[in-house]
Amino acid sequence: MARRPKPWYRKDRRAWFVTIDGTRHNLGPDKKAAHELFHQLMSQPQKRSVPSGSVVEIIDTFLEWCSNHRAPDTYEWYRFRLQAFAERYPDLRTAELKPFHVQEWLDAFNLSTGSKRNYCRAIKRCMRWAHQQGYVDHNPIIHMEQPESGTRDVLVSADEFEKMLALVPNRDFHELLTITWETGCRPQESLHVEARHADFKNSRWVIPPRETKGKALPRVVYLTDSALAITRRLVLKHPTGKLFRNSNGKAWTTDAVNCAFVRLQIRMGKESMRQRGIVVENEAIEAFSKQLASHRVVGGKTVQKTNAEIRQEAKRKLTNRLACKFGTKLSLYALRHSWATHALERGVDSLTVAVLMGHKDPSTLARVYQHLSKNPSYLLDEAKRAVG
């Protein structure tokens, strides 16, 4: 006997869902409204779908396809960005979708051009897929231009890296930064490496083709002495599952790493502010205090904040905002980029660097690191080496 359909809540989508006759329906985030819609769907079998042509429905269908046909990280990459679009336009229909909807959505975020490009890519990919699958007759944003991609011009010197590490109290994040700096590996490699990938005899990680970026060749990451020591310690600690984990014992995710870099940026900014004698003015704190909520929720109960707590909150938030302006926002890719640049500057030939970085096409190195052509001292040294 078939089970009666019953709504359930998906935390990752922040909405209620129900599957009726093999079709999944998004019932919305509100429990009461979701159950009312559920009963309407059950009482009217001939109209059991949410409004046809809904952008949110297209997003849900696309994400379900991603969860079945793409890697978990790929699904999460799209879910994180498309969730924001669904929350901004919960009632928008595909027939009404225009490029200006996407542009206004992008402008609502304080993001870099590279991040805005990724957000735009997510919704464009979703609508292109919907057109290819026949869910929509045409893609309404097919001709929309994407924001320019961001540049990876942030280079970290050895001295800067040491100062940065001194501001990282967390050993788990410290080791993740060190392994990237020492090997130049991709974030997707360090975040997913496991004990089974470790080849201690040859001081390297060997990742099989099915788990690599191109899924064509195995990826080999060679380890320096310090990187090898870190790997040995983590293999003993985590013989199964991901090696690199945060202080809670959970495997690092892209979002968690980004949050850790934001905290590092704030610490670096505060250190710079301390050296310059910069503090947040009392007038700014008082003005901002008036904009903050007068209560907070603790254990499901509303608690009134004291004036001192509100002022402390204002001071903390303003200080962090100011610190972000004085601290550099870094990433694991910035460390990989720095590793490659320093290797080339130290005289390692470009083919070897390309192999160590896992580039399938060595010409990628010339395109990405062409900024070295603007370094006169480096080119002068190379010119002298060319003639002995």
Tell me which of 28-32, 53-57, 111-115, 242-246 is least confident. 111-115
pLDDT tens by residue, 17-53: 888 766 778 888 888 888 888 888 777 644 434 345 7
Q: How far apart are CA 80 and CA 253, in angstroms?
A: 12
Around Cβ 54, how many Cβ atoms within 10 Å? 19
Rounded to two decimals, the pTM is 0.68
DSSP letter for 327, please. S
Whether the pLDDT of residue 245 is over 90: the answer is yes
Q: Find, among 231, 249, 236, the residue nearest to 175 by Cα.
A: 231
DSSP letter for 195, please. G
pLDDT number for residue 22: 65
Greatest Cα-to-Cα distance within the chain, rounded to the nearest angstrom: 86
Q: Find, among 63, 48, 75, 109, the residue nearest to 254 by Cα.
A: 75
- Tell me the two tokens of residue 362: 């060595």
Q: Find, among 153, 172, 167, 109, the residue nearest to 331 by Cα.
A: 153
Q: Measured in whole angstroms, how far is the alpha carbon of residue 149 from the centre of its chain?
A: 15
Q: How far apart are CA 26 and CA 48, in angstroms?
A: 11
pLDDT tens by residue, 148-187: 876 556 789 999 999 999 999 999 999 999 999 999 999 9
How does residue 383 score in pLDDT terms, banded at 50, 70 and 90? low
Q: What percent of the chain has pLDDT over 90?
A: 54
pLDDT number for residue 49: 41
Q: ∠221-224-229 over CA atoms, to 5°?
A: 100
Whether the pLDDT of residue 363 is over 80: the answer is no
pLDDT number for residue 359: 82
Contact between 377 and 231 (Cβ < 8 Å): no
